[in-house]
Amino acid sequence: MKRKTFLIRSFSTLAGFFALPTTGLLAHNPRGDQKNKPFIISTWSHGLDANIAAWEVLIQNGRALDAVEKGVRVTELDPDVTSVGVGSNPDRDGNITLDASIMDEHGNCGAVAFLQHIKNPISVARQVMEKTPHVMLAGEGALQFALANGFKKEDLHTDSSRQRWEDWKKSKNNEPIDMHNHDTISMLAIDNNGDISGACTTGGLAFKHHGRVGDSPIIGAGLYVDNEIGGAGGTGVGEVIMKTLGTYLIVELMRNGLSPQAACKEAVMRAVKKIPDAKDLPVYYIAVNKQGEFGAYGTNREFEYAVYTENKGNTLYRAESVY
């Protein structure tokens, strides 16, 4: 069952090309077939490897929650992914600080923010969800919680991440922060019971201010799941996603009848309408509904996402976009 398809399918046909400015347009979603179970969708091409690990859980009748955790751990541990987990781009002071959140089919959620020295923040987020009465732990408190629960304190830098910081210090440190530099992994899965869970994990914006936290650990911003309706995940400029609570908005739009595709588009258009400069920034969403119909949308043409289904295998798509 291990299939990895390096195929980019573009669904940016006429509707996407003309970049219709309003929402409520015909849902551009020929792909859901009501039987997409099990199902995985994740952000970017690094989602392909993450999907393979998650799929192994789902085809053994595992829980979607276990699948999304196992899936995004692959990305967190991959030193070649420079925006998630080990080897992430550091902040302005050279520290790798990580954000993550996870949400299950019962509406339980857990998150860590501004966590340092732990390779798999998603697993700490899960333990926050399962072992504490809280939703989020941050900074030193999150680290102490992780260490008390068996995680090891480690240096997350690679030679490459250190070098990127050295290069940035030499050339860029007096310039405004480049808001384009981050590729979070968000993943949503439906298991054989039809239950939905999601996970979201990131190193955040490259060369950010020390202490900056993005959308990824904020439930309703970087990730939201309602098992009656569906789930949504975000990637891109956290500040925009936080200001518009994009994933909560998408799930509520699906509750009101929009397809995942139309809901993702509406959330992007809302950001573009409400936030100055959002149209020039990367803001991207993925979503799936309870029927296994899925969608994705972004401000620009750069966004790719990976979908794993029984019928089509593991496939990389390019999302429709405003521009």
* Catalytic residue list contains 5: no
201 or 291: whose CB is closer to ligand GLY? 201
**Spatial contact of 216 and 100, defined as CB atoms under 8 Å apart:** yes
37 or 208: whose CB is closer to ligand GLY? 208
Rounded alpha-carbon distances, angstroms, from residue 267 to 17, 42, 224, 278: 19, 18, 13, 12
- The one catalytic residue in 43, 184, 244, 299 is 184
How far is residue 222's CA from residue 100's CA, in Å, rounded to a whole number? 9
DSSP class of residue 84? S
CB of 19 to ligand GLY, least distance (A): 23
98 or 128: whose CB is closer to ligand GLY? 98
Which x/- pattern, by CB under 6 A, does the window 184-203 give for ligand GLY?
x-----------------x-
CB of 202 to ligand GLY, least distance (A): 5
Does 235 interact with ligand GLY (rule: CB under 6 A)?
yes
Does 238 interact with ligand GLY (rule: CB under 6 A)?
yes
CB of 309 to ligand GLY, least distance (A): 26
Does 236 interact with ligand GLY (rule: CB under 6 A)?
yes
Q: Tell me which of 164, 182, 290, 318 binds ligand GLY, using CB under 6 A.
A: 182
Q: Tell me which of 27, 52, 137, 237 binds ligand GLY, using CB under 6 A.
A: 237
27 or 187: whose CB is closer to ligand GLY? 187
235 or 300: whose CB is closer to ligand GLY? 235
Residues in 200-229 that interact with ligand GLY by CB under 6 A = 202, 204-205, 214-216
CB of 222 to ligand GLY, least distance (A): 6
**137 three-state secondary structure:** strand
Taking the mean position of all CA atoms in its chain, how far away is CA 176?
Answer: 25
Q: Which residue is nearest to ligand GLY (CB)?
A: 214
Rounded alpha-carbon distances, angstroms, from residue 10 to 112, 214, 297, 318, 320: 34, 29, 12, 5, 8
**For residue 227, what are its two tokens?**
């098992």
CB of 200 to ligand GLY, least distance (A): 8
208 or 290: whose CB is closer to ligand GLY? 208
**For residue 314, what are its two tokens?**
């593991």
**For residue 236, what are its two tokens?**
């891109």
How far is residue 149's CA from residue 314's CA, in Å, rounded to a whole number? 34
Question: Which part of the chain contacts ligand GLY (CB under 6 A), choosing from 232-240, 285-293, 299-307, 308-316?
Answer: 232-240
**For residue 248, what are its two tokens?**
């909560």
**Spatial contact of 212 and 77, defined as CB atoms under 8 Å apart:** no
78: phi then psi, degrees, rounded to nearest 5: -85, 110
Rounded alpha-carbon distances, angstroms, from residue 184 to 88, 215, 253: 10, 10, 23
**Spatial contact of 182 and 214, defined as CB atoms under 8 Å apart:** yes
CB of 184 to ligand GLY, least distance (A): 4
Tokens 């954000």 locate to 99
Contacting residues toward ligand GLY, per CB under 6 A: 182, 184, 202, 204-205, 214-216, 235-238
Catalytic residue positions? 184
